[in-house]
Every structure is written in C-alpha cells, then in structure tokens.
C-alpha cells in the first residue's frame, strides 16, 4: 500500500514536472517580459521586430503606446509650434506674393495717374530745367553726339535708305 502510494506519488510528480516543463516552454515561447513595466505578457502584446531573436520588440505595446503619448505630450508645444511656424511660413509667402503683386499694380497705377495729373507741370519743369541748364544740356548732348558719331551716321544712312 505504502509502496503503491509511493509509486503513485512518483508517477504523479513526474506528470506534474512534465506539465511544469511544458508550461515553462510554452511560457518562453508565448510570453515575454516587458523591459519597461516588467510584466510577463503574451507575445502578441509585443510589436513585431525582425531584428530581435524572438521577432518581437522588448517593450510591450502598452508601454510603447504610453512612451509615444508621453513623447507627444512632452513635446506637444514644440510640435505645435513647429506646425504653426510651418503654416505661418506658407501663409506669409503667399501673402507677400499677393501683396507684392497688388502693390506693384497699385504703384504703377499711382505713377501713371500722377504723371497724367502733373504732365504739364513736369513738362514745364523739364523745360525750365533745360532753360536753366541749357549750356550744360547742350554740352552733354554734344558729348553724346561725339561719342555716338558712328552710330548716328549709320542710323541716318539707314533712315535715308528707307525713305
Ligand atoms: Zn510594458
């Protein structure tokens, strides 16, 4: 009886040991300890990473998610500022382009209308300037003629040929 019981015990503990080994084997295959929270979790709770021996990363998905969330919150201001700066830059370049174009057009119109309004005065002033600086103007013109003698000659010849 006692012998039988002993035999039974041995057999039972063998089975138990086998079961324990099998459980451990399954554990090492299907479970992994997270290097961040230290919890033993199913292998499916770890993201795939072919660089690792067991094809999984060392940090569980929960910790990973928390890490990226923490990163986001810690750097939220930085990220937001960066995004805003980028948007502002884009807006500004468009704004300046439009502003320049509108401004150019406006300046052209302004200059044209100013000229129209002041045509007489401008002519008068030019004439006055010419009268006041007649000699200088004539001297400049003479100098220009002297400088461009050949050009003028050629121009006149071509003009005559045309006419
Ligand atoms: Zn974890």
What stretches in the chain show pLDDT beneath 70? 1-12, 23-29
- Ligand 1 centroid vs 30 CA: distance in angstroms? 15
The tokens for 13 are 């503990």
Phi/psi at 47 (5° precision)? -70, 155
Average pLDDT, the chain: 80
pLDDT, tens digit, for every residue of 32-51? Answer: 889 999 999 888 898 888 78
pLDDT for res 34: 92
For the chain, give the percent of residues with pLDDT over 90. 7
- Ligand 1 centroid vs 21 CA: distance in angstroms? 25
Residue 43 carries which DSSP code?
G
- Ligand 1 centroid vs 62 CA: distance in angstroms? 6
Residues 6+ apart with CB under 8 A from 40: 27, 31, 32, 33, 34
Residues with CB under 5 A from ligand 1 (ion): 34, 36-37, 60, 63
Pick from 41, 40, 58: which is nearest to 49 by CA?
Answer: 58
């Amino acid at each position: 009886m006692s012998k039988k019981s002993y035999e039974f015990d041995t057999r039972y503990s063998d089975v138990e040991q086998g079961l324990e080994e099998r459980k451990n084997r399954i554990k090492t295959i299907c479970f992994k300890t997270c290097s961040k929270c230290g919890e033993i979790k199913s292998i499916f709770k770890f993201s795939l990473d072919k660089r690792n021996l067991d094809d999984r990363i060392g940090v569980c998905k929960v910790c990973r998610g928390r890490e990226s969330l923490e990163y986001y919150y810690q750097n939220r201001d930085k990220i937001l500022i960066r995004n805003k700066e980028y948007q502002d830059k884009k807006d500004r370049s468009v704004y300046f382009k439009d502003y320049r174009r509108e401004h150019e057009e406006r300046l052209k119109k302004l200059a044209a209308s100013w000229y129209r309004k002041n045509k007489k005065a401008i002519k008068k002033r030019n004439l006055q300037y010419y009268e006041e600086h007649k000699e200088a103007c004539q001297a400049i013109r003479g100098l220009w003629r002297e400088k461009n003698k050949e050009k003028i000659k050629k121009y006149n010849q071509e003009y005559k040929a045309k006419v």
